[in-house]
Chains A and B, each alone.
Chain A
Amino acid sequence: MIEIDNVTLRYGDRTVLSDISLSLGEARIAIIGANGSGKSSFARLLNGLVLPSEGTVRVDGMSTKSDGKDVRRKVGFVFQNPDNQIVFPVVEEDLAFGMKNLGFSKEDIARKTTEILARYDMSDLREHPAHLLSGGQKQLLAISGVLVMEPAYVVLDEPTTLLDLRNKRRVTRAIDALEQTVILASHDLELLQEFDRVIVFDEGRIVADDTPDKAIPFYVERMS
C-alpha cells in the first residue's frame, strides 16, 4: 500500500502538484494526463526520487523522506528513455549494478541474471553491448534491471512512448505479466483497458479516479 497524504510539490515558485491525497492498493494502477499535468512528478514521488514540499508519501508505512533507502528497494522505477537508465556498457554488467548495490552475492547475481534474461528471450545477449540492442530490448533490459532487485512495486513512466508498434507490444506483454503491483504513467490509453484503476491528472490536480471504462472516456472528452 502506498499512501499519499496532502502532498504539495513545488519547483521554485511553480506548483506542480497541489494537495494530493490518495492510497494506492490495487494491482494495476494507471496515471494519465497531458504533458505537464504533473503525472511524471507524481510517479517520481512514489520512490522518493522527488520529495514532497508538503505532506508525506508512505510505502508500506515507510516515509520516502526518512526511509529513502528502503523505499527505493521496495519501489522500482522504469524511465521513459531506456538509454537514460542503462548505466553500464554491457548487458550483464548493467543487470548486476542494482544487485551489487543491494549487496547480493556473486552466485545470486549470476543466477538471477540467467533467470531474467531467459524470461525475456535475451539469453544470447548476456555479453552484448547495451547500445546495440533494439529499442524494445533496451526497455526490457531497463525493466529487468529493476526486477532483479526484487521490488514489491514497479513504477513505470511512459515506458512505451519511444517504441515502435512491435516493440511496444513486447514491452506491454512484459508489463502485463509482472507479479508486482504496477503503477504506470502513460499516454497510451490502449495499454490501460484492463487496469483496476485509472487516475487522471490535470494541472497538478486529480480530476478523475475511477475504473478505465469511466475514467478514460472522461479524459478523452476533457482533452478534446
Chain B
Amino acid sequence: MLDLYAPGTSILHRMSPGPKMLALMVGATALFLNQSLVVTLAALIVVLGLYRLAQLTMKQAWQQLRPLLWIFVLFFALQWWFSGVTLAAYVVLRLAALILLASLVTLTTRSSDMIDTMTWALGVLRPLGVNPAKIGLAISLALRFIPVLAQITQDVREAQKARGLERSVIAVAMPVAIRTLKMADDISDAIDSRGYRP
C-alpha cells in the first residue's frame, strides 16, 4: 500500500505535501470524532469527489479498499450482531473514508516529497541533537524495506510449504529474521559504498 504514487498533473498533485498531510490529519481526526452516519456518508462522497479532482479513477479508489474487503465484512457482521445495522454501516463507512483519504495523499504525493517535508518539519528539533537528514534516510529506508520484507516472508512461506511447515510460525519467522539481519549488514555496506557519510 506504500509505493502508490500515481503520476499526474492535477491540483492535488501540484499541492505541496505539508498542507496535504495537515489536511489528512485534521480530516482523519474529524472523521473519528464524528458520530453521525449521515456526516460519514457525506464525507465519503466528498473524498471520492477529491479522487475525481486528482484525475484518479473510481477503479483506483476501489483498489485502495479491495485488500481490506474481508475486514469490512467482518466488522460489519460483528457490529450488526452487537449494535445494529446503523452502527455497523457507520463503522465500515468511516473506515473506508479514512483509508481513501490517507491513500489519496499517498497517491498524489511522491514519497520523496513527503519525506522532504517531514524532514524539514523535524528540523525544529535540531537543537535537541536531531539530525533531519538522517531521519530522512531512515524514513526512505523503512518505506523501501516494507515490500522487500513482505516478499521475503512470501518466499520463506513457499519454501516451508514444500516441507509442510508453512503453518509453523517459528519455521517461517526464524529464516525471515535471519535473512533480514543479513540484509541489514549488506544494505549498510551498500549505503557506505555509495558515498554516504553519517
Q: Is A44 an interface residue (CB 8 A)?
A: yes
Chain A hits for B158, CB < 8 A: none
Contact: A69 with B193, CB < 8 Å? no
Min CB gap B192→A, angstroms = 7
Residue pairs across A and B with Cβ atoms less than 8 A apart, 16 shown, are A47-B193, A49-B189, A49-B193, A77-B189, A77-B190, A85-B187, A87-B144, A89-B2, A89-B144, A101-B196, A102-B195, A127-B110, A129-B147, A130-B144, A131-B148, A145-B194
Docked Cα-Cα span, A73 to B197, in Å, equals 12
Chain B hits for A149, CB < 8 A: 194-195
Q: Is B86 an interface residue (CB 8 A)?
A: no
Q: Mark each residue of chain A from 158 to 170: 1 if its CB lies under 8 Å from any CB of chain B, else 0.
A: 0000000000000
Q: Is B35 an interface residue (CB 8 A)?
A: no
Chain A hits for B197, CB < 8 A: 69, 101
Q: Is A83 an interface residue (CB 8 A)?
A: yes
The closest CB in chain A to the CB of B141 belongs to A87
Contact: B191 with A87, CB < 8 Å? yes
Chain A hits for B144, CB < 8 A: 86-89, 130-131
Interface residues on B, range: 20 to 34
**Taking each of A44, A69, A87, A145, which has the highest tally of chain B beta carbons within 10 Å of its own beta carbon?**
A87
Known contacts A76-B193, A88-B144, then 10 further A-B pairs from the complex at CB < 8 Å, ordered by chain A residue? A72-B193, A77-B189, A77-B193, A83-B148, A89-B140, A97-B196, A102-B195, A129-B5, A132-B3, A149-B194
Contact of B111 among A83, A84, A89, A101 (CB under 8 A): A89
Contact: A88 with B190, CB < 8 Å? no
Chain B hits for A93, CB < 8 A: 111-112, 140
Contact: B183 with A97, CB < 8 Å? no
Contact of A101 among B143, B147, B148, B194 (CB under 8 A): B194
Given contacts A101-B195, A101-B197, A131-B148, contact A81 B186 (CB under 8 A): yes
Interface size on A, residues (CB 8 A): 31
Docked Cα-Cα span, A97 to B192, in Å, equals 11
Q: Mark each residue of chain B from 1 to 22: 1 if its CB lies under 8 Å from any CB of chain A, else 0.
A: 0110101000000000000000
Q: Is A79 an interface residue (CB 8 A)?
A: yes
Given contacts A72-B195, A127-B7, A131-B3, contact A88 B189 (CB under 8 A): no
Min CB gap B191→A, angstroms = 6
Chain B hits for A102, CB < 8 A: 195
Of residues 97 through 123 on chain B, the ones whose CB sits less than 8 Å from some CB of chain A are 110-112
Of residues 60 through 97 on chain A, the ones whose CB sits less than 8 Å from some CB of chain B are 69, 72-73, 76-77, 79, 81, 83-90, 93, 97
Chain B hits for A83, CB < 8 A: 148, 151, 183
In order of increasing CB-CB distance, the 8 nearest A-B pairs are A129-B3, A101-B195, A84-B186, A131-B147, A98-B194, A77-B193, A85-B190, A89-B143
Chain B hits for A81, CB < 8 A: 183, 186
Min CB gap B194→A, angstroms = 4
Given contacts A90-B5, A129-B3, contact A84 B194 (CB under 8 A): no
Docked Cα-Cα span, A207 to B159, in Å, equals 37
Contact: A84 with B3, CB < 8 Å? no
Given contacts A90-B3, A93-B140, A131-B147, contact A84 B193 (CB under 8 A): no
Min CB gap B35→A, angstroms = 37
Contact: B111 with A90, CB < 8 Å? yes
Docked Cα-Cα span, A93 to B197, in Å, equals 18
**Taking each of B7, B110, B189, which has the highest tally of chain A beta carbons within 10 Å of its own beta carbon?**
B189
Docked Cα-Cα span, A79 to B189, in Å, equals 9
Given contacts A86-B144, A88-B144, A127-B5, contact A79 B183 (CB under 8 A): no
